[in-house]
Amino acid sequence: DMRAAWMGAEEGSIKPNVIVTTDLIHQYYEGSLTPDVRFQDTRMGDIGFQALQFKMVPIFHDPYCATGNMYFLNTDFLKVKHLPGAMFDLTMMERGQNQDAFVAHVLFEANVVSSARKYQNKLTGITA
Protein backbone atom coordinates (compact mmCIF):
# COMPACT_ATOMS: atom_id res chain seq x y z
CA ASP A 1 0.00 0.00 0.00
CA MET A 2 2.86 2.38 0.76
CA ARG A 3 4.34 1.79 -2.69
CA ALA A 4 0.98 2.54 -4.35
CA ALA A 5 0.50 5.71 -2.28
CA TRP A 6 4.04 6.79 -3.16
CA MET A 7 3.39 6.27 -6.88
CA GLY A 8 0.19 8.32 -6.60
CA ALA A 9 2.12 11.28 -5.17
CA GLU A 10 5.11 11.34 -7.51
CA GLU A 11 5.66 12.54 -11.05
CA GLY A 12 9.12 12.51 -12.58
CA SER A 13 11.53 14.10 -10.13
CA ILE A 14 8.71 15.49 -7.97
CA LYS A 15 8.07 13.17 -5.04
CA PRO A 16 7.03 13.32 -1.38
CA ASN A 17 9.73 14.66 0.92
CA VAL A 18 8.17 13.66 4.25
CA ILE A 19 5.83 10.94 5.52
CA VAL A 20 3.77 11.50 8.68
CA THR A 21 1.84 8.84 10.55
CA THR A 22 0.62 7.80 14.01
CA ASP A 23 2.84 6.52 16.80
CA LEU A 24 1.49 2.96 16.50
CA ILE A 25 1.92 2.73 12.74
CA HIS A 26 5.43 4.17 13.05
CA GLN A 27 6.30 1.49 15.63
CA TYR A 28 4.75 -1.23 13.47
CA TYR A 29 6.74 -0.12 10.41
CA GLU A 30 9.96 0.05 12.44
CA GLY A 31 9.34 -3.45 13.82
CA SER A 32 8.74 -4.86 10.35
CA LEU A 33 12.17 -3.77 9.07
CA THR A 34 15.25 -5.89 9.44
CA PRO A 35 18.16 -4.14 11.20
CA ASP A 36 20.30 -3.93 8.04
CA VAL A 37 17.50 -2.11 6.18
CA ARG A 38 16.56 0.07 9.16
CA PHE A 39 20.07 1.47 9.57
CA GLN A 40 21.40 1.47 6.01
CA ASP A 41 22.10 5.22 5.92
CA THR A 42 25.33 5.60 7.90
CA ARG A 43 24.80 9.34 8.32
CA MET A 44 21.78 8.55 10.46
CA GLY A 45 24.14 7.05 13.05
CA ASP A 46 25.16 10.58 13.99
CA ILE A 47 21.70 11.17 15.46
CA GLY A 48 21.27 7.73 16.96
CA PHE A 49 19.14 6.13 14.23
CA GLN A 50 16.12 8.24 15.14
CA ALA A 51 14.64 8.66 11.66
CA LEU A 52 13.02 5.84 9.72
CA GLN A 53 12.92 6.13 5.95
CA PHE A 54 10.87 4.87 3.03
CA LYS A 55 12.46 5.39 -0.39
CA MET A 56 15.06 7.68 1.25
CA VAL A 57 12.32 9.95 2.71
CA PRO A 58 12.01 10.35 6.50
CA ILE A 59 8.96 8.97 8.29
CA PHE A 60 7.84 10.93 11.35
CA HIS A 61 5.25 10.03 13.95
CA ASP A 62 2.82 12.56 15.31
CA PRO A 63 0.56 11.82 18.29
CA TYR A 64 -2.07 14.14 16.79
CA CYS A 65 -2.16 12.35 13.42
CA ALA A 66 -5.57 10.86 12.63
CA THR A 67 -5.78 7.20 13.67
CA GLY A 68 -4.97 4.74 10.90
CA ASN A 69 -3.60 7.35 8.48
CA MET A 70 -0.24 7.86 6.80
CA TYR A 71 0.38 11.08 4.86
CA PHE A 72 2.83 11.32 1.94
CA LEU A 73 3.58 15.05 1.70
CA ASN A 74 5.62 17.28 -0.56
CA THR A 75 6.19 20.36 1.56
CA ASP A 76 7.33 22.38 -1.47
CA PHE A 77 3.64 22.67 -2.39
CA LEU A 78 2.28 23.33 1.13
CA LYS A 79 1.89 26.86 2.44
CA VAL A 80 0.43 28.42 5.59
CA LYS A 81 -2.03 31.18 4.71
CA HIS A 82 -3.11 33.40 7.60
CA LEU A 83 -5.91 35.88 7.94
CA PRO A 84 -4.92 39.55 8.07
CA GLY A 85 -4.71 40.68 11.68
CA ALA A 86 -4.46 37.12 13.00
CA MET A 87 -0.76 36.32 12.66
CA PHE A 88 0.12 36.14 16.36
CA ASP A 89 -1.35 39.59 16.94
CA LEU A 90 -2.16 40.66 20.50
CA THR A 91 -5.45 42.06 21.74
CA MET A 92 -5.60 44.97 24.16
CA MET A 93 -4.36 44.28 27.69
CA GLU A 94 -7.19 43.80 30.18
CA ARG A 95 -7.50 42.82 33.81
CA GLY A 96 -7.78 39.05 34.28
CA GLN A 97 -10.79 37.62 36.08
CA ASN A 98 -10.23 36.75 39.75
CA GLN A 99 -6.52 37.55 39.55
CA ASP A 100 -4.19 40.45 40.06
CA ALA A 101 -2.76 40.48 36.54
CA PHE A 102 -3.29 41.84 33.08
CA VAL A 103 -3.80 39.52 30.12
CA ALA A 104 -3.98 39.72 26.34
CA HIS A 105 -5.16 37.18 23.82
CA VAL A 106 -2.87 36.01 21.03
CA LEU A 107 -4.74 35.71 17.73
CA PHE A 108 -3.71 33.17 15.12
CA GLU A 109 -6.02 31.96 12.37
CA ALA A 110 -4.58 30.09 9.42
CA ASN A 111 -4.97 27.20 7.02
CA VAL A 112 -2.42 24.90 5.48
CA VAL A 113 -3.11 24.89 1.74
CA SER A 114 -1.67 22.91 -1.13
CA SER A 115 -0.86 24.47 -4.47
CA ALA A 116 -0.62 21.02 -6.11
CA ARG A 117 -2.93 18.44 -4.57
CA LYS A 118 -1.69 15.73 -6.92
CA TYR A 119 1.69 15.65 -5.15
CA GLN A 120 0.09 14.80 -1.77
CA ASN A 121 -1.38 11.42 -0.87
CA LYS A 122 -2.57 9.45 2.13
CA LEU A 123 -3.29 5.93 3.24
CA THR A 124 -6.32 5.32 5.46
CA GLY A 125 -7.56 2.40 7.50
CA ILE A 126 -4.11 1.12 8.46
CA THR A 127 -4.16 -1.30 11.38
CA ALA A 128 -1.05 -2.44 13.18
CA angle 94, 97, 99 (to 5 degrees): 95
Question: What is the percentage of the chain residues whose pLDDT exceeds 90?
Answer: 56
Query: What does the pLDDT read at residue 18?
Result: 94
Predicted TM-score (pTM) of the model is 0.73
Sign of torsion over alpha carbons 99, 101, 107, 112: negative
Task: Please write the tens of the pLDDT for every residue from 63-97.
Answer: 999 999 999 999 999 999 988 888 888 899 998 88
Task: Please write the tens of the pLDDT for every residue from 27-50.
Answer: 888 888 766 554 555 555 555 455
